[in-house]
């Protein structure tokens, strides 16, 4: 089993970028073209959700921890969970400073509505897999909370979803090791991408140059043909 060092750990949040567009992920995490904006956005999210890595509240038989840092050496990732609910359970795990046993359940908050792709589920599953490695437990389910429906949905962390996480992370580590940024392949989703102004202008310039060269060659061929008559 591969064990990743501190310098090899990738951001869990990158799974969402990578699932949406591999080029977007590379521009952010390899070329760091959006580093300042990324930090700004993450900062707003952290403040809006009142993340506090040392804050835990108790509601009945549930401990609620906000902004919990997690990592996995076997997956090679690290990040922060929005919320981890610790439910009192006889088959749970001991938690330092607390009596009894507790079963961790990550809850990821999203401002928008549920996505058609697996991006959010992959990120949530990865968080759970990190918690499992850190606490030596099994987490069969977790939750995604979306702002627009204003409710949360239960996500089953089955083996199929876990395998997608592993496969995608292996691909991400390969890209990062090679410092590889995929070429532009325009899709409909490009319109909704926050990096389109950084990514697509290069494509537009390349297309403009190609059109210019084709037009020049075509006009040149016509002129030569005219002179030969």
Sign of CA dihedral 145, 129, 159, 116: positive
pLDDT bucket at 50, cuts 50 / 70 / 90: very low
- Has residue 1 been placed in a domain? no
In angstroms, the CA 14 to CA 78 distance is 10
Query: Angle 55-111-155 (CA atoms, 0-180°, nearest 5)?
Result: 80
In angstroms, the CA 50 to CA 69 distance is 14
pLDDT bucket at 208, cuts 50 / 70 / 90: very low
Which is higher by pLDDT, 194 or 49? Answer: 194
For residue 46, give its domain range.
Answer: 6-182
Contacts of residue 44, Cβ cutoff 8 Å, sequence gap at least 6: none
- pLDDT tens digit sequence for 90-127: 999 998 888 999 999 999 998 888 888 899 999 999 99
In angstroms, the CA 58 to CA 95 distance is 14
- Has residue 21 been placed in a domain? yes
Last residue of a domain, one of 148, 167, 182: 182
45 and 156, same domain (yes or no): yes
- Has residue 23 been placed in a domain? yes
117 and 44, same domain (yes or no): yes
62 and 164, same domain (yes or no): yes
88 and 141, same domain (yes or no): yes
Closest CA to 25 of 218, 171, 127, 224: 171
219 and 134, same domain (yes or no): no
Using a 10 angstrom Cβ sphere, with 0-12 exposed, 13-18 middle and 19 or more buried, the burial of residue 147 is exposed
Consecutive H or E run containing 91: strand 77-94
Total of domains in the chain: 2
Q: Please give the model's pTM, rounded to 2 decimal places.
A: 0.79
Give yes or no for residue 168 having a pLDDT over 70: yes
In angstroms, the CA 60 to CA 151 distance is 20
194 and 176, same domain (yes or no): no
52 and 98, same domain (yes or no): yes
47 and 117, same domain (yes or no): yes
Give yes or no for residue 34 having a pLDDT over 90: no
Contacts of residue 143, Cβ cutoff 8 Å, sequence gap at least 6: 105, 106, 107, 108, 124, 152, 153, 154, 155
In angstroms, the CA 46 to CA 120 distance is 17
- pLDDT tens digit sequence for 183-205: 888 777 777 777 777 787 655 55
- Has residue 61 been placed in a domain? yes
- CATH classification of the domain holding 100: 3.90.320
- Has residue 17 been placed in a domain? yes
76 and 122, same domain (yes or no): yes
Question: By percentage, how much of the chain surpasses pLDDT 70?
Answer: 78
- 131: alpha, beta or left? (left if phi > 0; alpha if psi -120 to 50): alpha
13 and 112, same domain (yes or no): yes
- For residues 210-223, one letter each, b for 16 or more C-beta atoms within 10 angstroms of the residue's C-beta and e for the rest, the string is eeeeeeeeeeeeee
75 and 153, same domain (yes or no): yes
130 and 166, same domain (yes or no): yes
């Amino acid at each position: 089993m591969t064990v990743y060092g501190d310098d090899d750990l990738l951001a869990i949040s990158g799974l969402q970028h990578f699932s949406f567009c591999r080029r977007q992920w590379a521009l952010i995490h390899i070329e760091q073209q959006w580093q300042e904006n990324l930090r700004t956005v993450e900062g707003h999210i952290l403040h809006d959700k009142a993340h506090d890595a040392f804050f835990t509240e108790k509601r009945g038989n549930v401990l609620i921890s906000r902004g919990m840092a997690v990592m996995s050496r076997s997956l090679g990732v690290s990040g922060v969970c929005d919320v981890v609910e610790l439910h009192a359970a006889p088959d749970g795990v001991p938690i330092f400073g607390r009596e009894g046993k507790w079963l961790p359940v990550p809850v990821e908050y999203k401002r928008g509505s549920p996505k058609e792709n697996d991006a959010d589920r992959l990120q949530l599953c990865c968080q759970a897999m990190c918690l499992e490695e850190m606490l030596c437990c099994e987490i069969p389910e977790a939750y995604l909370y979306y702002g627009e429906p204003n409710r949360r949905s239960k996500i089953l962390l089955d083996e199929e979803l876990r395998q997608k996480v592993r496969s995608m992370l292996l691909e991400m580590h390969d890209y990062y090791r090679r410092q590889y940024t995929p070429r532009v392949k325009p899709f409909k989703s490009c319109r909704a991408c926050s990096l389109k102004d950084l990514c697509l202008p290069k494509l537009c310039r390349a297309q403009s140059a190609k059109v210019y060269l084709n037009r020049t060659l075509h006009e040149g061929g016509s002129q030569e043909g005219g002179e030969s008559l």
